[in-house]
Amino acid sequence: MAVYGFPEEMLQYRPETESENTGLLKDHSAPRRGSMDLPFLGMTLVILLIGLIMVLSASFARSYYESGNATYVFVRQLIFSVSGIALMLIASRVKVSTFRKFSFWLLAFSIVLLAIVPVIGVESGGAKRWIDLKITNFQPSEIAKLALVLAFSSMICLYKDKMKTFRYGVVPFVVVIAIMVGLLILEPHLSASVIILGLGAVMMFAGGTKIRWFVVVGIAVCLAVVLILPNFDYARERIDVWRDPLAEKLDGGWQIVQSLYAVGSGGLLGLGLGQGRQKYLYLPEEHNDFIFAVVGEELGFIGAVLILALFALLIIRGFWIAMHARDRFGSLVATGLSALLALQVFLNVAVVTNLIPCTGISLPFFSSGGTALWLQMLEMGIILSISRDIKDK
């Protein structure tokens, strides 16, 4: 029996024929898979390589200060990068239908993880966003983003033309988003909440939800933000710092002021790779969330723009793969994962340059972090898997 807005098919995956208009073919009729999209693969590896170089440059001072080994962070990132490439290549060979088969299970698993983080999570900076895996800390919000894309793609394929209705095109999606955002606020994790909201909106729009429902839900979200956000001290403080970071440059505004110093001192051509100054324990999170500030300082405006251009080309190629995907599920997944990459790059750069209030958003392929990098490489592998079924590349 169907629950309001949620059909019974959600709970059990059932392979369907092409005649049922799901866009999936039975195994016996599936064409032979081709090669992966080489431009997408090449740009991913180039960005990852540049990210590794910047991690080495940004982290050696703090690594030496904290561990006595100047390459400690870099070696860890190198290990995660190599294993991440292997994970990407493995994922690229998995059939797209397999990802759909496990999409709702992954969604349920991610919600359970988000629910237990406030209980067993590792606290840092006044927030519990990580689970200690001994070899590294893991953010369940990273799985939640991938799960959202896969599950929403499956839901859209199930609902088909019903996506134009409020009952099917709005209610179930808003319920899932509300659960995730509610659990993220408990951590608290404002940046992940913003990404989930934006990603959910992109998936609903791509699925065919009518524009008028975006207006209604958007107004409701804005009212909720205005009424709820001021009740959180950490959010109110960050907004105050964002409005005038120099007023609190020795306290809450220290990080963003040092970031602006780094970006500004880079000028047009930069100080040179490895020659940055703010990474010498002035700029917090210099090899993590604020690594783009080091990029701006050492490579200058031209270097930073070239790196952003590479990201733009990768994202555009991801959308190209989505437009040429063999079935609707693959198209939606490639759209969602490309949009996720775009959101994270934009928000990270916006934070580093003080365009928006400071939140903990990492720069994909650049910011140090093991499990986050693994998931990013897995997501690129899924897009490459979708590209294998494109006839003409």
Q: What is the 3-state secondary structure (H, E, C) of 81-145?
A: HHHHHHHHHHHHCCCHHHHHHCHHHHHHHHHHHHHHHHHHCEEECCEEEEEECCCCEECHHHHHH
DSSP 353-376: TTSS-----PPTTTS--HHHHHHH
pLDDT in tens, the chain (393 residues): 444 454 444 444 444 444 344 444 444 445 567 889 999 999 999 999 999 999 999 999 999 999 889 999 999 999 999 999 999 999 999 999 999 999 999 999 999 999 998 888 777 666 777 787 776 777 888 999 999 999 999 999 999 889 988 898 899 999 999 999 999 988 878 888 889 999 999 999 999 988 888 888 778 777 876 776 666 666 777 777 888 888 777 777 888 999 999 999 999 999 999 999 999 999 999 999 999 999 999 999 999 999 999 999 999 999 999 999 999 999 999 999 999 999 999 999 999 999 988 877 899 999 988 888 999 999 999 999 999 998 765
pLDDT (0 to 100) of residue 358 = 81
Measuring CA to CA, how many Å separate 202 from each of 60, 148, 207, 343? 38, 11, 8, 10
pLDDT (0 to 100) of residue 15 = 44
Beta strand ranges found along the chain (DSSP E): 122-124, 127-132, 137-138
What predicted TM-score, i.e. pTM, was given to this entire model?
0.87
pLDDT (0 to 100) of residue 100 = 94
Q: Are 270 and 298 in contact (CB under 8 A)?
A: yes
- CA 386 – CA 393 distance, rounded (Å): 12
pLDDT (0 to 100) of residue 122 = 76
pLDDT (0 to 100) of residue 20 = 40
pLDDT (0 to 100) of residue 126 = 65
Backbone angles phi, psi at 8, to 5 degrees: -65, -25
Q: Domain map of the chain by residue range?
A: 34-387
Q: Are 300 and 273 in contact (CB under 8 A)?
A: no
User: Tokens standing for 203?
Assistant: 């998936």
User: Tokens standing for 120?
Assistant: 């067993």
